[in-house]
Amino acid sequence: MVNSPVIFFDGVCNLCNSSVQFVITHDRENYFKFAALQSEFAKMQLPENLININEGASFILLENGKIYKKSTAALKVAKKLAGLWPLLYTLIIIPRFIRDAIYALIAKNRYKWFGKKESCWVPTPDLKSKFLG
């Protein structure tokens, strides 16, 4: 088990990779670690039904032994970032079924709208310590 919160992301999704790079840039406390949903680490840490990318899995947060998905995961991540990004956490008051419906629409169309890589993104050597598996 890892002590740091881990963001699991779709490693071939351009939107997901851009989101990870955004978090790295704004995570000044180095709070988060990262792992592709396609990695062996994800397979060991998450229930199999959560890592099915074909079923819309794109962004999952594992923090303090709890798993957060979809919009809740994204808002919990925003809460820890530098700058004004934590203000987005106020959107948590919107009922989850509404937030997750918007999230699902974006997740379903992420490859069509943002593109897809042939293989998982490989971090630079200085960022490698932030990635698991």
Residue 91's pLDDT is 97
- What is the rounded CA–CA span in Å between residue 105 and residue 116? 17
Tens of pLDDT, residues 15-27: 888 999 999 999 9
For residue 27, what is the DSSP state?
-
Look up the pTM and report it: 0.87
Instruction: Please report which confidence band the pLDDT of residue 12 belongs to, taking 50, 70 and 90 as the band edges.
Output: confident
Q: How far apart are CA 126 and CA 21, in angstroms?
A: 13
Q: At what angle do helices 96-114 and 14-26 cross, to 10 degrees?
A: 110
